[in-house]
Amino acid sequence: MSLKSTNPFTGKLIKEYPSHSDLEIEKLLNNSVDAYQSWKRVSIKERALLMKQAAEILRDNKMKYAEIMSNEMGKCITEAQAEVEKSAWVCDYYAEKASEFMNPKNIKTDYLISKVIYQPIGPILAIMPWNFPLWQVFRFAAPNLMAGNTGILKHASNVSGCSLSIQEVFEKAGFPTGVFQSVLIRGSETSKVIEDKRIAGVTLTGSTEAGKKVAEAAGKSLKKTVLELGGSDPYLILADADISLAAEKCAAGRLLNAGQSCIGAKRFLVHDAIYDEFLSAFKQAMQAVKLGNPMDANTQMGPLANTSFRDDLHYQVEKSIEAGATCILGGEIPDMQAAFYPSTILADVKPGMPAYDDELFGPVASVIRIKNDEEAICIANDTVFGLGAAVFSKNLKKAEKIAEEIESGAVFINDFVKSDPRLPFGGVKESGYGRELSKEGFREFLNIKTIAGKP
């Protein structure tokens, strides 16, 4: 069996990668365990030097890694370059912060010795998606490798070139053999790796259904998991919002990566008092985005990752229109090669429609008219998801108070939702559990150990 990487713009096969055999997987797992036994004893200072080197390799080869991403999954080359830079940033961040995050904590009790220490737990399996094929991996790898764990990457099968490139970065940076490895297998083969006794924990970024399967497999072995799953992020545009700013940020949040983002802006809850004005400005911002060859620096939005994803998205749009939604913009498959889908706006969106209930993984915006702030909060929370949200208002205190009422892992005010190494990232409800990034994410796969003693 082999894994195929196909260019979503040209439709041409890039390369076939042979899947790892059972014997190769066995060797890979043993390498990870063996590497862990020595890597956990390497000083944080030494690990940091290697992680800083990984960041430099990324920056020095930015175009090389950006082109691999664009060719394999259709990301605009400018966005791909930014992703490489962001991946380097997270490497630098944890190289600088790991020592602080692992500092023992003394706690005053009746014991003479009373402290909490933080220790690595072993090989961590990362199951990662194709939409941000470098960033998603480095935000897992940088903290875990700095903490003393080792990493095994099971990447999406259509971005095997990215997967091997990430392993290459760590190898060139000087990380010991086995500290970070890519395993090339299909999704159906993943459970046997999850259940293997040598795997200490599992992290997944992907769909809610994939998360449930991974949680089930890991739960059978009582293994810690972190799940970052789907989202249907609500953006609340209140009556006192800066309409120009809101339209700009909402369009950017919806169209980033051709709308293929779990934290992409998806549902837009607009106050009746500014509804028409906002919709006009939003439509203008959405339709201004230029479709084209993702390798062209002037292109602002490339194709979806494949035609199957595009067809699924279009089906959701058609079903929503059949149920009463009004198509304000787009909504038709363009007469272009590859899996392009246009910027699309659906208005009059109501419960029962895919545009209201489901995650739309592409450049489609669902606009909902609201009467007041209370209704906006109610509709924002009327979803099985809880990953991100945004509030637009000139009254920062009011926006902050509303943000506290929204059931999600993050709420941004007057900006679109984004991940940042300095801030915890993750969701609630069917958007998953656990956190990545910041101190909270760093400690997810550590043994938080209490040591207490008397003379």
- Give pLDDT tens digits for 319-367: 999 999 999 999 999 998 899 999 999 999 999 999 999 999 999 999 9
Cα–Cα separations (whole angstroms), residue 382 to 163, 350, 378, 403: 37, 11, 6, 15
Active-site annotation, residues: 228, 262
Confidence of residue 52 (pLDDT cuts 50, 70, 90): very high
Triad 166, 47, 169: Cα angle to 5°: 15
Confidence of residue 58 (pLDDT cuts 50, 70, 90): very high
Q: Which of 214, 213, 210 is nearest to 201 (CA)?
A: 214
pLDDT one-digit tens code per residue, 211-229: 999 999 999 999 999 999 9
Domain locations along the chain: 2-229+429-453, 233-413
Question: Between 3.40.50.410, 1.10.287.130, 3.10.20.740, 3.40.605.10, what CATH number should domain 2-229+429-453 receive?
Answer: 3.40.605.10
Does the fold of domain 233-413 match that of domain 2-229+429-453?
Answer: no
pLDDT confidence of residue 242: 98
Tokens 């940076």, residue?
173
Looking only at the bridges linking them, the beta strands covering 2-6 and 13-18 are antiparallel
Amino acid symbol at 242: D
Tokens 């008092």, residue?
273
Q: Is the pLDDT of residue 202 over 90?
A: yes
pLDDT confidence of residue 77: 98
Residues 6 or more apart whose CB falls under 8 angstroms from that of 108 comprise 114
- Cβ atoms of 413 and 211 within 8 Å: the answer is no
Q: What is the mean pLDDT of the chain?
A: 97
Determine the average pLDDT of the residues in 74-97. 98
pLDDT confidence of residue 1: 79
Q: What is the CATH number of domain 233-413?
A: 3.40.309.10
pLDDT one-digit tens code per residue, 403-445: 999 999 999 999 999 999 999 999 999 999 999 999 999 999 9
Helices (H) and strands (E) in the chain, counts: 15, 18
pLDDT confidence of residue 446: 98
pLDDT confidence of residue 337: 83
